[in-house]
Amino acid sequence: MNVSPARRAAFEVVRRVFEDDAYADRVLRSASEGLDARERGFARQLAYGTVQRVRTLDHAIGTLGRRPTRKLDPPVLAALRLGAYQLGYLEVAPHAAANESVELVRAARLERAVPFTNAVMRRLAGGMRALLAELPEGPLKHSYPDWIYDVWARDFGEDDALALMRVQNEPTETVVRLVRGEIDGEPTDVPGAFRVARVDEQALAAGRVWPQSRGSQLAALSVASRDGDRILDSCAAPGGKATMLHGDVVAVEINEARARELDENARRLGATNVRVVHADATDLPPQLDGFDRALVDAPCSGLGVLASRPDLRWRATPLPELQRELLRAAAERVRPGGTLVYSVCTLNAEETEHVVDASGLEIDPTLGDEWPQFRHPRRPEFLLTLPHLHGTSGFFIARLRR
């Protein structure tokens, strides 16, 4: 029996993510090349779901398969993970999931492991749903590292922590920013952000729309930039926020390839006011000085965007030291009386309000009044979009005065 192209592509993604520490979206792009839209969609669902749920899947495989997953050959483990995901979370015929997992092992030239794979898949088919139903609420059931659950329980309470875990295992809304022209979409509570059934690839290629969550667009709008302002965007790639800003924008990016991509995106979107500078935002060239405003959309653990990046939960790292340094470096280049917006796509007090509090900068309390629906639940002077409450990615936003 031949393995379906979608399962073969998903198998490659799962192997590369966990064996080579590759990024799921990049592997999927190459692995699904040549597939039709339906197969590509199924490959994405299979690959992303399996990567997301891997902690729970491994628990089921180890429990029902009666052999620790660490002792399995990597191709066998990847095939079992894919099969277990289909049995536990998709409406797929059990025999199809089992047969194709066996064939993936056979295609990997591990004939000796075929009987074992077959036996484990039969046990999973008989016991997977019951095992999942009996798991207690928590990070094992929802497949997160313990530390992420602990951070959310500490910052938001146990009920919200569980709600955040649940919602970030589900697909996110598809939102684009309308750059110019018209759009077939639903307006949202963020001006210029439209909810769409799918991204129009032609409109994207022509620079008429840009895929960007409401939380991300909110960060750029919070800068409140105006024509005539000189603005520093210190961590600018891929350019979604930089190209929303008015005035003369200097968009800094440390990675050379991403700086080129940023430049291309700015040109495609018609943002002629954006000048790209390839530099380290913690050590800016001396001539970059005297800005009216700055946006520091800092690298972070990404705990607000786990739904759209399935492998991120397994590699996420809090970066408070870097964030403090980036904010300090940007503040030095803003004129007295100027403003800075600090934003991160994470939900972790150590990377959000603690970084702002440590900066010594004056907090602008009017931001929460401008966007009352997104006020931070504990600190109303800040904004915090929460996936389980607002239906968008999680963003923390603070506006500060120099």
C-alpha count within 13 angstroms, C-beta hemisphere, residue 256: 0
Q: Is 166 helix (H, G, I), strand (E, B) or coil?
A: helix
Torsion, Cα 187 217 350 235, to 10 degrees, reads 160
Phi, psi of 360 (to 5 degrees): 75, 0
Whole-number Cα distances in Å, 267 to 180, 245, 270, 276: 14, 14, 5, 11
Contacts of 332 (CB under 8 A, 6+ apart): none
Residue 264 carries which side chain, given as an amino acid letter? Answer: E
Instruction: State the catalytic residue, choosing from 3, 148, 345, 361.
Output: 345
Is 345 one of the catalytic residues? yes
In order, the DSSP letters of 105-120 are HHHTT-GGGHHHHHHH
Handedness of CA 43, 46, 52, 58 (dihedral sign): negative
Sheet holding 175-178, edge to edge: 186-187, 193-195, 175-178, 209-211
Contacts of 341 (CB under 8 A, 6+ apart): 219, 222, 223, 293, 294, 295, 296, 397, 398, 399, 400
Tokens of 207: 């620079």
Cβ burial 206-239 (10 Å sphere, 16+ → b, else e): ebbbbebbbbbbbbbbbbbbeeebbbbbbbbbbb
Closest to 310 measured CA to CA, from 39, 104, 43, 114 = 43
Q: Which helix (H) or strand (E) holds 343?
A: strand 334-344
Q: Which residues are catalytic?
A: 345
